[in-house]
Amino acid sequence: MAPKERVPNNERKPLGVVLPSGHTGSSLFHSVLQQAVAQFPQALGAARMPSGAGVFKKTYGSALARFEAARVSSSERTAIARFIVRTTQDALGFAAGDKTVPLTEHLRDKAAPQTLERTRLGDESRLEVAIPWSGAVHRGLDAVTLAKRLAATHELTHAAAEALTWIAQHAQANGGKIDLRGRRFVILGAGAELAPTRALLQGGASVLWIDLADPATLLADRAGLSGELVTCAAAKNLLENPREIAAAIEAFAQGQPVEVGAFAYASGASQEWRLAVTMDAIVSSLDPAIVRSVSLLVSPTTASVWQPESVTEAAARFKRRPIWQGALNRAGLLPTPGSISAGGAHVGLSTVSIQGLSYQAAQYISKLMAAEALALHGVDARATTSRPIIVSANVAGITRTRSLSHPLFEAAFLGAPKFGVRIFDPPETRALSSLLMLHDLLNPQAPAGPQTNDPQRASKLFAQQVHGGIYCLPFALEESIRAAAVIGLGMKPSVLLPKKRKR
């Protein structure tokens, strides 16, 4: 047999979910927002969106904050969110060789039924409330004390503290365990650093693993695991196999409700946004009857609405700012305020340019907008009648994950305490976020539930914020990070040295 000819990278045919021809992630993001302004001029005209994609790319932090402030102040806020999600899903395509079709059309052409493999791990719940924090582990009702303390120091919101209190008390009333037996979870990005996969299996749930990563790493340590881990050989690559993944979810559901978690992430070549849109599109392609809930994590570095206690604390911190912060503020190096207000809503100037516009588009469009659209109207982005579902969309703190392994961030992490900001370790964020998610799914009175008679549900949906103090900054986050990085470099100049690769 003749050896297979190697095709140069620049001649390989694209495969999988792609941006529309002629667009970068940046230009598509701008185009989608411009289309929303044209569709809802009365609501969004005050946002003063830049007309050119180039100007938007340079000023998108403040532009996006103005846009979100105008949106949440409008009675059409959820209609705008649905329009943005629909427009984005319609824009992306699925490429196979010389042919590209719209992603939504590709998903309508159903894949063949998928074969699943099941690994039984145990028959009882072993999931306890346990939050690792500053070298200690807070278990059971001790977690309530921790949550109240973090709310008092403005590292998380009162709504988040109340949710953590509820889930701790729920476990206490059930023998100290959170019982997930009989529940089915689909985790898109099951191997992600902050995914709740291990916690769900400790609770005895049945979990469908969707990830390029091999679950063998998880199974290498089965201590405390229970429930059932389910895999599908053809359903691993979200960007290349979205139809097969949808078919695997349907086979896993067997007509029964499932809980979908959207946690996949990869950087570079607009992957973060393409992955986020693909996860949204897969959910939208499913039979609404089998989707009980959708869970995701919102980055603190997107245009989120601050809670009233954070706004008050930011004003207080500005008044008692140290002399050096005041000097930098007067010099224009720490601009204030740290948020943009409209109609009583305060939206943080919390974007960070080094993360890129594709990252921001994934967070804002395919998380914030998608979460609100799902919560208020349901899975079908085009349905004329509402069928709300449970949506868990909580802010997770800035965390020392592999994706933030960059000298600027590492230096800023060292200087962050000078601004009253906490940087979280992955086990802390995983524990807090998993418990908040389980509160949202188990508490029938949670804002995440489909109480259609609550006119404030859209705003309450995002009230559970573990922000570590960055939503109390009186200054714009980008400039605060630069100042913190300078402080961090003074403390540890070696963060700029190239790191040795691990063998």
pLDDT at 5: 38
- Whether the predicted pLDDT of 3 surpasses 60: no
Between 472 and 455, whose confidence is greater? 472
* 249 belongs to a structural domain: no
Instruction: From 108, 132, 153, give the residue that closes a domain.
Output: 108
Nearest of 151, 153, 131 to residue 141 by alpha carbon: 131
pLDDT at 502: 43
CA distance 350 to 354: 12
Side chain identity at 319, as an amino acid letter?
K
Cβ–Cβ under 8 Å, residues 392 and 328: no
Instruction: From 63, 93, 108, give the residue that closes a domain.
Output: 108
pLDDT at 6: 44
For 316-322, what is the mean pLDDT? 96
* 1 belongs to a structural domain: no
Where in the sequence is the domain holding 103, given as residue range(s)? 13-108
In degrees, rounded to 5, the angle at the alpha carbon of residue 362 between the alpha carbons of residues 155 and 274 is 145
Cβ–Cβ under 8 Å, residues 185 and 207: yes
pLDDT tens string 99-124: 999 999 999 999 999 999 999 999 99
DSSP 264-308: ----STTHHHHHHHHHHHHHHHS-GGGEEEEEEEE-TTS-PBPPH
For 273-283, what is the mean pLDDT? 95
pLDDT at 161: 97
- Whether the predicted pLDDT of 43 surpasses 50: yes
pLDDT at 495: 64
Between 79 and 481, whose confidence is greater? 79
Between 314 and 343, whose confidence is greater? 314
Cβ–Cβ under 8 Å, residues 281 and 238: no
Mean pLDDT score across all residues of the chain: 90
| CA pseudo-torsion sign 417, 420, 426, 428 | positive
CA distance 163 to 131: 14
CA distance 43 to 46: 7
* 21 belongs to a structural domain: yes
* 481 belongs to a structural domain: yes
Band (pLDDT 50/70/90 cuts) for residue 1 is: very low
* 255 belongs to a structural domain: no
pTM over 0.85: yes
- Whether the predicted pLDDT of 156 surpasses 60: yes
Neighbouring C-beta atoms of residue 219, cutoff 10 Å: 13
pLDDT at 412: 78
* 283 belongs to a structural domain: no
Residue 213 DSSP class: S
pLDDT tens string 383-429: 778 889 999 999 999 887 776 666 777 887 788 888 899 989 999 99
Instruction: From 108, 131, 155, give the residue that closes a domain.
Output: 108
* 18 belongs to a structural domain: yes
Between 425 and 492, whose confidence is greater? 425
Band (pLDDT 50/70/90 cuts) for residue 9 is: very low
Span of 120-129, 317-326, 358-367, 477-486 with lowest mean pLDDT = 477-486
* 26 belongs to a structural domain: yes
Please state the domain count of the chain. Answer: 2
pLDDT at 415: 84
For 460-469, what is the mean pLDDT? 95
